[in-house]
A and B are shown apart, each in its own frame.
Chain A
Amino acid sequence: MSDLDWKRPLEDVLGDDSTAREQLAEHAQLLPIADARTSLRFMGARLREHWLSTLATLLITVAGAVAAAILPRLIGSAVDVVAEDGTSAQVWTLGGQILAVGLLQAVLMALGWSMISALGQRILAGMREDVIDRALDLPAQTMERTGIGDALSRVADDVDVAARAVNNLVPNLIQLGFLVVITLVGMATLSPWLLLMVVIIVPMYVIAAVMYLRRTAPIYRRERIAMGARAQGLLSAIHGIPTVHAYGIERRETRHVAVLSETASLLNMRVMYLVGRLVVGLNVPENLALAMVLLLGFVMVQVGGAPVGLVAAAGVYLVTLFWPMMAVIFNLDEVQSALASLARMVGVITSIDPAASPGTERPADASIRLEQVSHAYTTDEDGNARIILHPLDLEIAPGETVSLVGASGAGKSTLAAILAGTLEPRHGRVLHGGADLAHADLEAVRSHASIVSQDVHVFRGTLREDLQLAAPRADDHALRAALRRVDALAWVDRLPKGLDTEVGEKGARLTAEQSQQLALARVVLQDPSVLILDEATADEGSSGARVLERAALEVARGRTTIIVAHRLSQAKVADRILVMADGAVVEQGTHEQLVALGGRYAQLWEAWTG
């Protein structure tokens, strides 16, 4: 096979790959996207913030364009000098002027380019920081429902697309744009006849550009979705190679990537066909302009007695314009894609409120109280809430250890998240040390309660940087003490560079158990009064699990602790055990009490100990 069928319908390419079809469907984006007006207002506000450099940039750019537009006129004068048999001194003077204007233009262009690019980079840096700001405060539920793919593409891909545009495209286009406008003005001032020509030609360009953009925009959008799906398909197949080989689905996965790759190629080629048409189409106004200049020139010179330099200048003006006009239109698609990224960034910034303190109450102690707390995530077809947690009153004393036991889906993790304050319940009040979370000081609550969840993540950078996320000012002594408490100091010291070892995606690979220990060490450093543990059992088997269990108990000492128990041995040591089923607490008491009760817990315990 040495070529593709470029006209093949996309449906045909997708064939029986329903997953690809689903991925390419233009479903609603998960995070908000700003509309054109919001983006425009937003950029206006940002430019006003930098009004001084905006103004300076504008002046320099206009001056540069004026200098560039003077050149054809000087060349026209040179032609006139020759046509009227002037002196060589006049020629030299004009040469000097051309050189001087060229020099001025070069300086202004250099300055203008740097200033536009720098201004853009400054605004962009502010924006990407705002996007991360909002992303970090995105509610956990949103992320759970949608996965983090969309958030990731906003903070990485969109920023990248915008930055590339600011690097090259934006300064280039702004300079060209001004050049075109000033040149047109220059032409119109040469002769009113030429003004007529400008009036005829310019609308043709605008129409061509608008038509082109209107047709390509949806194609580009679909191509981008296809490219995203293609990357995702490839990544997930590589990550899942063991599974791919075990199930023998390597061809299926390769074909999936191939289908998406071919879709993207065909879409891209459609744009290229449109480019071809555009070039042929633009040939019409260009040729018209050429003919008009020549014929008008003939009339002006032969009838009106105008100097021939005028015609030469007009000709040079015209030829100078073909190229930038084409460049502007050619680059419009990149502008489009940059604008799309901008809208996605602005959407996050303007429609997600930065986390703010709902009030000023601060927790007085490490107690927790729930008053009639209930929760539901979604509603079913009849509009009834799918209840995850039935109304619940609960009182936990400072320093008490409570453990939650129950089957998957019983509501343990939901209750844990509500207790930690990371999930806001639909109904009821949550009080930490007397402070209602709905009216509490945000940072005070954040440092008051921590939750260690099943997701272990080791941040990129050195081990020290990872730990210092929890305590930026902690010195090596404090860091080592924290590691010792979770039994991790031994292996950390065995690492080639100790605390300075690179970890995370690019650095040393830590085992699941080590990553969990690191998570616990962060808690020691953060030193919250309330700790919620919702971790999975270690993969390494029971010896590793026991190390972790010990570490967790050690970290929990002196804190109010809620443990989501995956293993009954974790539950056994708690002061109180809550047995949950179907979103409600069905039994509660100490281990001994519950075993004696002979209820659900007692059955579990019997099965567990075998």
Chain B
Amino acid sequence: MRSILRGHRRMLAVVLPLATLSEGVELLMPIVLGLIIDQGIMAGDLRLTVLGALGLILMRIVGALLWVFTFLQTQKACMFERHRLRVGLTGAVLDPRSRRIERPAGEVLSIATSDADKASDLLDMLTWVVPSLIAILAAAVYLAAADLWLGLTMLLGIAVMVVVIRVITPTLSARYDDQQSQAAEAAATATDLVHGLRVLQGLGVQSRARATYRRRSRIALQAALVNARYSGISSGLTTLVTGSMLAAVVVLAALRTLDGALTLGVLIAVVGVARYVMGMMQGLAGAPVWWAGMSTSARRVRDLYTDLGRAVDDPELGLDVLTTQRDDRGEGRGAAQGRRGAAGGLHLPQLSVADGEIVALACADAADAEAVIDAVSGQVDGGARVGEQPITPADRLTLRSELLVEPHVVDLFDGTLRAQLATRAPAGIAQGEDDAWADQALHAAGADDLLRILPEGYDTRILDRGANLSGGQRQRIALARAVAADAPVLVLHDPTTAVDAVTEQNIAEALAAARRRTDRATLLVTRAPALLQAADRVVFVQAGEIRGEGVHADLMENEEYWEVVRR
């Protein structure tokens, strides 16, 4: 929150007094109105009436302009803050140097959107609450100046209002929270059922799913009905306080005027001011809940930054940096653009892949495979090297131009098929008119059929996470993307688990053909016989130790190896 305020000190310094002024104009209105009725209309002074009316209008115009100015300034500041926090959080979450977090993606999203929005409301709230409070204070002073008793009544009214707000607000917000959480629960159930739609339809249990949702929806409805009752009562209560207060002020002021202590104009003014104040108070009644929600949100934003090991005001996460800088894959280190040359192969304590070689690693235990992947992707320091450069958590970022470790879990981002393949294709190749590079990549991934199936070929939009594709299609596009990157060192982890035997065979041959070049090194971590067979050399690991090395056909003599790769 402090960070939010710091960035907008100057804006607040200008806006706060002006907003107060615009509130003051609102407050002055009933007073001037009373004056005109008394001195102009009652006294039969047409000139004064006309002048007064003109003055009043002028006042209102100035007030409106002031209001618009402060409103726009505040909104700009608010929206800038929202944008800054959101982009900063996104940058922090995606930055590979940030600490890794275990929070669900949905939670991060809600912090970066709704919490960032709410926290920024601080500016909006300040420019409204502060002037309102000053105006109410001024109104109380005015009434007290007109008549001490009136002032006291006013204070009493404000006090009662505060008490009512303090008492009902907590109960009310509890009901409201209850309703919101039940509604969220129902919405989550709905989302969940739609996500599992294929499963439900496959089993033919739609009517049971419907009953499940209906149950949730009814619980949510009950909570909503309770909340409706409570907010009705709360709106009634504030109306009641306002009404009583008004009655008291009218009676008091009327009696005073009869006594001759006040003029008729002041009577009208007093009633007007009292109404104005009560209206303000009703508006301000929502402020404590607002404030509570805001500080919770601000805390959540801060906690996320802390979890990531970053700070809100980290200059590297500033808007100017995040919106202008391009990705750095270590290409800046003197290497020329375009196709990269040999990187000197991939070296691990248990095996080496020389330039021009395709090596397969068959692990009996999934854990061994994971360990190798962690080591080559630099998640841990496992003694892996690209050429002479060690792959460590600290250094891994600079190696990204030489090395690509395609994750096993496929993630595709929204964009055309061409854009998918071009994700990291060497500059200059993917920009031309010629799609030959893409054809080659698709062929190597056994995905030529996609061009036939997809309605607009390379220009077909692939939805986020490949939502409009089957599992096998997704996996093959990811594989083609990796091939198109043409990295000097490529590591693939179980790249064919979602495809059928026939396609797997096609992939094995085409992939090997695409990667078999003198300056390219490829490591396949897999147990698929088709891929093992296509490799130049297979390393067989069991219980963390190498149990065999050679070509697939020879290793098949090994009983344990045969058991592991057997289908």
Contacts and interface: CB of A to CB of B under 8 A. Distances in A.
Interface string B405-438: 1111111111100010001100000000000000
A539 B86 CA distance: 35
Interface in B193-235: 193-214, 217-218, 220-221, 224-225, 227-229, 231-233, 235
Given A136-B210, A294-B41, A542-B527, A98 B328 contact: no
A248 B309 CA distance: 20
Nearest to B377: A246
A155 B194 contact: yes
Contacts of A469: 200, 203, 205, 208-209, 212
Given A106-B243, A240-B411, A91 B254 contact: yes
Given A237-B413, A454-B471, A604-B502, A460 B189 contact: yes
B556 interface: yes
Nearest to A175: B235
Interface in B299-332: 318-320, 322-323, 325-329
A113 B449 CA distance: 61
Contact of B327 (A159, A171, A238, A248): A248
Interface string B28-69: 011001001100111010100110111011001100110110
The residue among A78, A109, A248 with the most chain B CB atoms within 10 A of its own CB is: A248
A536 B94 contact: no
B136 interface: no
A339 interface: no
B5 to A, nearest CB: 13
B513 interface: no
A261 B83 contact: yes
A459 to B, nearest CB: 6
A146 B414 CA distance: 13
Interface string A414-457: 00000010100000000000000000000101111111111111
A294 B501 contact: no
Given A249-B424, A469-B208, A239 B465 contact: yes
Nearest to B192: A460
B221 to A, nearest CB: 4
A355 B206 contact: yes
B464 interface: yes
B441 interface: no
Contact of A156 (B179, B187, B406): B187
B533 A610 contact: yes
A459 B240 CA distance: 49
Interface stretch (A182-190, A280-288, A589-597): A280-288
B105 interface: yes
Question: Binding site of A, secondary structure by majority: helix, strand, loop or mixed?
Answer: helix
Contact of A236 (B36, B72, B106, B413): B413
Contacts of A137: 206
Contacts of A145: 468
A319 B279 CA distance: 12
Interface stretch (A209-217, A297-305, A490-498, A552-560): A297-305
Contacts of B500: 405-408, 412, 565-567
A453 B414 contact: no
Interface in B334-391: 366, 369, 377
B518 interface: no
Interface string A244-283: 1111111111110111011001001100110110011001
A167 B227 contact: yes
Interface pairs A-B: 10 shortest CB-CB: A102-B243, A110-B236, A446-B204, A240-B411, A114-B232, A147-B467, A95-B251, A117-B228, A457-B196, A106-B240
27 contacts: A81-B254, A94-B251, A94-B254, A95-B247, A95-B248, A103-B244, A106-B240, A113-B231, A121-B224, A129-B217, A132-B210, A149-B467, A231-B113, A235-B105, A235-B109, A235-B464, A239-B105, A257-B90, A319-B30, A319-B275, A408-B446, A408-B503, A459-B196, A460-B189, A470-B205, A526-B204, A569-B567
A82 interface: yes
B239 interface: yes
A457 B251 CA distance: 69
B36 A294 contact: yes
B404 interface: yes
Q: Report, as a range, how many residues of chain A touch the other chain.
A: 35 or more
B262 to A, nearest CB: 9
Given A94-B254, A235-B109, A302-B46, 11 more contacts: A19-B415, A83-B264, A236-B414, A243-B407, A253-B413, A262-B83, A269-B76, A294-B40, A504-B192, A539-B408, A609-B529
Interface stretch (B144-152, B266-274, B541-549): B266-274
A255 B404 contact: no
A138 interface: yes
B246 interface: yes
Nearest to A355: B206
Interface stretch (A2-10, A39-47, A391-399): A2-10
Interface string A112-139: 1111011001100100110011011110
A125 B217 contact: yes
A312 B467 CA distance: 66
B86 A290 contact: no
Interface in A313-335: 315-316, 319-320, 323
B255 A522 contact: no
B498 interface: yes
Contacts of A506: 104
A140 B198 contact: yes
Contacts of A231: 109, 113
A237 B94 contact: yes
B250 A94 contact: yes
A246 B377 CA distance: 8
B361 to A, nearest CB: 13
Contacts of A83: 42, 264
Nearest to B45: A298
B342 to A, nearest CB: 20
Nearest to B188: A460
A237 B108 CA distance: 11
A1 B319 contact: yes
Interface in B246-262: 246-248, 250-251, 254-255, 257-258
A2 B247 CA distance: 50
B246 to A, nearest CB: 6
Interface in B87-112: 87, 90-91, 93-96, 104-106, 108-109, 112
Interface residues of B, number: 184
Contact of A247 (B213, B369, B404): B404
B333 interface: no
Contacts of B193: 132, 135-136, 459
Contact of A536 (B468, B472, B567): B472
A143 B192 CA distance: 15
A295 interface: yes
Nearest to B566: A542
Contacts of B465: 236, 239-240
Contacts of A476: none
A514 to B, nearest CB: 14
B169 interface: no
A3 B80 contact: yes
A446 B239 contact: no
A466 to B, nearest CB: 10
Contact of B229 (A114, A238, A253): A114
B509 to A, nearest CB: 10
B75 interface: yes
A540 B364 CA distance: 11
Contact of B239 (A78, A105, A239, A566): A105
B216 to A, nearest CB: 10
B470 interface: yes
A29 to B, nearest CB: 15
A568 B328 contact: no
A542 B195 contact: no
A450 B203 contact: yes
A420 B258 contact: no
A18 B413 CA distance: 13
B89 to A, nearest CB: 9
